[in-house]
Amino acid sequence: LGGDESGLMEMMVPMIRSAVGHVKGYGMGVRLDGPAAMVEQTLAVYMPDGKVGLTELVDVQTPRADLPAFIAPSTVTCAAINFKFNQLMDTVNKIVAANPLLQMQAAEGLAMVDQPLRQITATLGNQVYIATSLTRPLTETSSKGVMAVQCTNPQEFENLLAGFAAQVGIEARDFLGQRIYTMPADAMPMMMPGMEGGAGESASIGIGGGFVIVGETPSVEQALRATSQTGAATLESDDAFKRAVAVLGSDPAVAWGYTDTINQMEAQLFVIKAQQAQMVEELREFAPEAADEMAKDNEETLKMFNAIDFDLLRKHIGPSVWRVQSIDDGFLMNSFTLAAAPKWAWGS
């Protein structure tokens, strides 16, 4: 701060601390070939002055519960997070009040949305699930994700959403006895930053099974379909998932997650390669020489990606899990990457 002649950082410190609390230190450890996993990582966040702002909103510990019906066996990543939605607006107002610059820029707009957002968050519970599924053969759209928030008063949430949807032209319809609101792909980032429709896909908000579910329309429809079925298989039935979460045990946590490590890595690299190729072709339309240069620059990266033998990796590297726990003076995160199951490690 001493070298900041503008004084901007000094002004920002109260806002940062009101947003996340005073973090006085971090600690990290790595263990290889331990009794529980081939790689174990530990990260500690030291907050002796207590949790404030956003860190207070996630300071809700619960035992790991059974997964909801829409997290299917085809899921390659899932995360469960606790979040105090009913305290969100109080926290946001405190953060804005702690910084004069934010007050000047956001106070008026915040006052306008405060009451509507309080009405919406009052209908939500504390549980959030984020899940990504994968289909083969791999394409740019093989990976599909949804975010689901527990809804304790679905009728009131729908009443509030219906009023807003009517103003902006979002289509409402019934789906298997549940409700779904669909919007064009380009409208989703404005409403839910980070949730974008791919390849021109429309996006939807679904209400059913005790959740508000957000994502691309086919994924939301499939999630609602799963919530309406009795006894449908979930990721809980997968042997790799069961083996991985057994490492976490049943200790309460503020968040935890699972990843099918190599399948997720393969899908991500496939998308990166497809995006690079698309960027080259789009550039070629108006700058052919620059496109050729970009393609040449990408060659080494593509060569490295294409050299990866994912089948070989699957024989040795298994799933990964992580959890975040609240402790008296901060947070503790543990992550575990397991070795592959014996049938892979010793198979032909």
DSSP notation for 290-317: HHHHHHHHHHHHHHHHHT--HHHHHTTE
CA triplet 295, 297, 299: central angle to 5 degrees?
70
Give which of 338, 290, 339, 283 is closest to 315, Cα–Cα. Answer: 339
In the three-class reduction of DSSP (H, G, I as helix; E, B as strand; rest coil), residue 255 is classed as strand
Exposed e or buried b per residue across 55-88, where buried means at least 16 C-beta atoms within 10 angstroms of its C-beta: bbbbbbeeeeeebbbbbbebbbbbbbbbbbbbeb
From first to last of its 348 residues, what are the pLDDT tens digits of the chain? 555 555 566 667 777 888 899 999 999 999 999 998 999 999 999 999 999 999 999 999 999 999 999 999 999 999 999 999 999 999 999 888 878 778 888 888 999 999 999 999 999 999 999 999 999 999 888 999 999 999 999 999 999 999 888 787 788 999 999 999 998 766 555 554 444 444 557 899 999 999 999 999 999 999 999 998 888 889 999 999 999 999 998 899 999 999 999 999 999 999 999 999 999 999 999 899 999 999 999 998 899 999 999 999 999 999 999 999 999 999 999 999 999 987 644 444
